Chains A and B, each alone.
Chain A
């Protein structure tokens, strides 16, 4: 794409997040969960980068690490031109308004004892010097923007359905006019007929406020709908990253191929004619990943080298990155 002037809003280089495992009476450190183990990607201004993969592959950890909700094990994170990878938590405060998060479970992420108005206003209380009147106006505007009836501002979260609760979470995330929002499985807990409502809302808000999203999901059909580019994770690493069309039409990595072929197609004629790649076995533990390529224990195309050498993550074709020895012939 020559006419693509997009520049990265978020730049992540070799991001690592390892969690220590303690054991025994003395709580000695006996190992670590390599939840995120060397991610490199950009999120372009105004785009939606989809982050997909199966549960436990490190998507949430990656999203939280990028927002520096953790002290990361290694790597660089630049957001809006500022390096925050090693910024101490105390100094991150002023960056917080720029970057926000929307969570999977709207039930668990909203304080049940606060009214909707108080929930949405909370970030304004913490980060702005607006007058109470200005805050009220802002909250009302936010409720309009996400399609919540202003009349319900004094109600508590339990009085709302799952879809409406997700709207409350989105309104709060928008309160400080962020540029970048990590959406961590924002529709996974919702019914099919409600998912489309929330996805359309996220798309409208992106257009209206010029937002950039990292959209984490295990629902590949939905990611195909919403994402500009897609990154596929397996066991703490990105195995492939490409433009949406390329990734779904011409995936390179054997894991991407298997993952796509496992998605049930809602069309009986197609569903019965596709040749599914059925992966054998389970995902290895991130505390003890296999040597070489981390997919080598399940890969249908595994070669000898895969069990020895970790494949390099590189641009195999223009704008299509993959980490796989199949594409590393010299």
Chain B
């Protein structure tokens, strides 16, 4: 039996919209992932420390407040500082199309907005992490 993949779902900043994050947590669990959820109001340092201690394969960020252009890159930087260079970073929430490019440049591999079928996200993650292994 393959060991389950581990994913951290995190909500940085002051954004309290946590429905989407919880939907993702449940979808990934049901798809066979071991999912750790940080809860809301996390700093980049807290998220990076949790990712390190939990030795996750991927970190999923959820943000609906509009602060993604500052927070997502800050988290990517913090992860690198902790030596987590190989961890896949992806995200979702309310993120305008034009922001996707700069986020990718900062190290966020992909972004999924409202209405994305959950299976698309599961397939993306399984595909990416299978290659990484």
Q: Do A and B come from one complex?
A: no
